[in-house]
A and B are shown apart, each in its own frame.
Chain A
Amino acid sequence: MEKEILLTIKNLTVKYKTDDGIAEAVNNISFQLHKGETLGLVGETGAGKTTTGLSILRLLPERTAEITEGEIIFKGENLLDIPKNEMSVIRGKQISMIFQDPMTSLNPVYTVGSQIEESIFLHNRDLTNPQIKEKADEMLELVGITPERRDDYPHQFSGGMKQRVVIAMALACDPELVIADEPTTALDVTIQAQVLRMMDELKRKYGTSMIMITHDFGVVAKTCDTVAVVYAGEIIEYGTVQDIFEDDKHHPYTTGLFHSLPNMNQDTERLQPIEGLMPDPMALPAGCKFHTRCPHCFDKCKTVLPQDIDFNGHMIKCHLYSKEV
């Protein structure tokens, strides 16, 4: 059975203008998201994960960021073409976002109840006040907070509880797509597991699709269906979780990341870090962007940008594999 496609991103390119030059944050990213599935965007700081997420909602800073190329097709409509005021109807209603830091993404001077009500009110103008209140209470209950706490302010909640409130806000209008930007990075391990499990249950219950932005392979393994590994603004490897965690073929960067992680199940004397640093987005190297740190680099890598090599849907952007196919 062919799965329904909810979101298609084609050749998305985002640049930031800065005083020192142009930062190439996202370079030619393409992916598809099926209905009800979770896609993981995984990579290190500055890889362009959050920029990709913000582009979908058109929340990039207007004065510095520019989408120079590409299409973001959501349910058959290119989000980059529709007028601003129509975008605010989609934002929060059909696509919503969970931000990384629950300490800063809530407004400290409003009660959590009223913050959840706001998006319900804005997107459902026909509802009466008691109905909105009821819906907000329902949302709080859904994320495991008793509705009696609706009149509390964010500072009265712990980090994990705040993130639950943020999730309640994001889900309040039954969105079809939720973009979660490092939703559990600021939380403790036991709380992280609680919150992720709750998100997983809600996702299944409502058939919501999700883009999970994270740097943590553990989170990816436990929550995602498909995975895109991002490096210097490019997707260098894409596949199902099985492809990424169980296949032997990988991009050297993905392999490097796995070797950098201390393994819980076996003892390693020494970790094998990836040498060097991520390239500066203002001065990206020619050819493969990873070639400066790659242990397998050969001449072609330094000049020619590698294409996606397709192994039955498992894509790897690396010259090492072009010989094989």
Chain B
Amino acid sequence: MEPFIKTVGLKKYFKTPSGQLHAVDNVNLEIARGTTLGVVGESGCGKSTLGRTILNLLPATGGQIYFEGEDITKPSKKRLFALRKEMQIIFQDPYASLDPRMSIREIISEPLIVYKEVKGQALYDRVSELMDTVGIARRMENYFPHELDGGRRQRIGVARALALNPKFIVCDEPVSALDVSIQAQILNLLMDLQKERKLTYMFITHDLSVVKHISDEIAVMYLGECVEKAPKEELFKNPKHPYTQALLNAILEADLKTSLAEKSIIEGEVTSPINPKPGCRFASRCKYCMEECLSDNILLEECGKNHFVACIKAQE
């Protein structure tokens, strides 16, 4: 079956005074319709840039993006306008992503007005319906964002993303600014909506327990590259890439079974993404690093059913 979203060798570089910043480098991903791809990695690994490049919010430096089989890497202005209806984004920070001078109703109506979907009473009803869908009381329609708590604001972000009935939503850390009890409410909402509307998600997060909960497949990113990709059960049971193993090891479980001293914690920090050296980008922190790791770029290769890894040692 044709994948719903597909990227081939997707690249996004930024020019900086000290050189090319490889934010996203050679990423090949596929997302099937109605599923969730979780993208995990630490800050600066390019996960948000990847999401934005797929949505054409940032122009790609190289590679292709396919949406339902159509190449949308460099769409015409008209086509892009139409595409925006199909693909939406929910941003990380519900405090910064809502216009402070617009009321709740105005924020949710805006996409509908821009696309001339409905007007008058029909518009009013559509917005009220959207507010019901995400669980915002209708009496709050004239509130401004600053009058609401983080959880409610994020619900508005969700309502705005849903307004045009998109097929694909990039969720960029939608719960990381929220408290755990509220985080659970929003995660449940997103999962219910996916079931009801057969949405496809790309869920970007640094929180491994959240990604495990919501995803079908998981892609692990490190310094702009996708280093491992597998169905979630497989990834958590059988992580192959040393970085994935390190990430899983660093999780602090809320139980007393293992102590901090017993954990094997990875040393060092993420190196610079500016003009990276050839070879494995994780090599400087990797305890298995061999000479071969430093010479050539290492590509994702299948090492099990649907399990891809970019590591010489794991591929052997």
Contact = CB atoms under 8 A, between A and B. Distances in A.
Q: Do A and B bind each other?
A: yes
A45 B252 contact: no
B266 interface: yes
Name the residue in A192, A215, A262, A268 with the highest tally of chain B Cβ atoms < 10 Å from its Cβ. Answer: A262
Nearest to B264: A193
Interface string B168-204: 0000000000011111110110010000000000000
Given A190-B250, A216-B252, A264-B212, 11 more contacts: A191-B42, A191-B269, A193-B250, A194-B266, A200-B261, A222-B252, A223-B260, A245-B255, A260-B183, A264-B251, A271-B184
Closest 3 CB pairs of A and B: A218-B252, A273-B184, A262-B213
A167 B177 CA distance: 25
B253 A265 contact: yes
A189 interface: yes
Given A192-B252, A262-B212, A264-B253, A273 B182 contact: yes
A207 interface: no
A142 interface: no
A256 B181 contact: yes
B181 A44 contact: yes
Measured as residues with beta carbon below 8 angstroms from the partner, the interface class of chain A is 35 or more
A173 B303 CA distance: 53
B145 interface: no
A189 B254 contact: no
Contacts of A200: 260-261
B146 interface: no
A245 B254 contact: yes
Contacts of A258: 254
Contacts of A242: 256
Contact of A197 (B256, B261, B269): B261
Contacts of B213: 262, 268, 271
A217 B254 CA distance: 5
Given A262-B213, A272-B184, A277 B149 contact: yes
A215 B180 CA distance: 8
B19 to A, nearest CB: 18
A258 B180 CA distance: 9
B265 interface: yes
19 contacts: A44-B180, A189-B206, A189-B247, A190-B266, A192-B250, A193-B265, A196-B260, A200-B261, A215-B180, A218-B253, A221-B253, A223-B260, A245-B255, A262-B184, A262-B210, A262-B213, A264-B251, A271-B184, A274-B181
B142 interface: no
A264 B233 CA distance: 11
B95 to A, nearest CB: 12
Interface in B24-71: 42-43
B180 A257 contact: yes
B209 interface: yes
A201 B46 CA distance: 33
Contacts of B296: none
Interface of B: 42-43, 149-151, 179-185, 187-188, 191, 206, 208-210, 212-213, 236, 246-247, 249-256, 259-261, 263, 265-267, 269-270
A312 interface: no
Contact of B184 (A159, A222, A260): A260
A262 B261 contact: no
A273 B184 CA distance: 5
A3 interface: no
A258 B183 CA distance: 12
Nearest to A188: B42
A189 B42 contact: yes
Interface string A37-48: 000000011000
A197 B212 contact: no
A270 B251 contact: no
Contacts of A241: 256
Interface in A269-314: 270-274, 277
B253 A257 contact: no
Name the residue in B247, B249, B250, B263 with the highest tally of chain A Cβ atoms < 10 Å from its Cβ. Answer: B250
Contacts of B254: 217-218, 220-221, 245, 258, 261
Nearest to A242: B256
A190 B181 contact: no
Interface string A238-254: 00011001100000000
Contact of A264 (B150, B209, B250, B261): B209
A263 B247 CA distance: 16
Contacts of A220: 254
Contact of B209 (A245, A263, A274): A263
B265 A197 contact: yes
Contacts of A218: 251-254
Contacts of B42: 188-191
Contacts of A159: 43
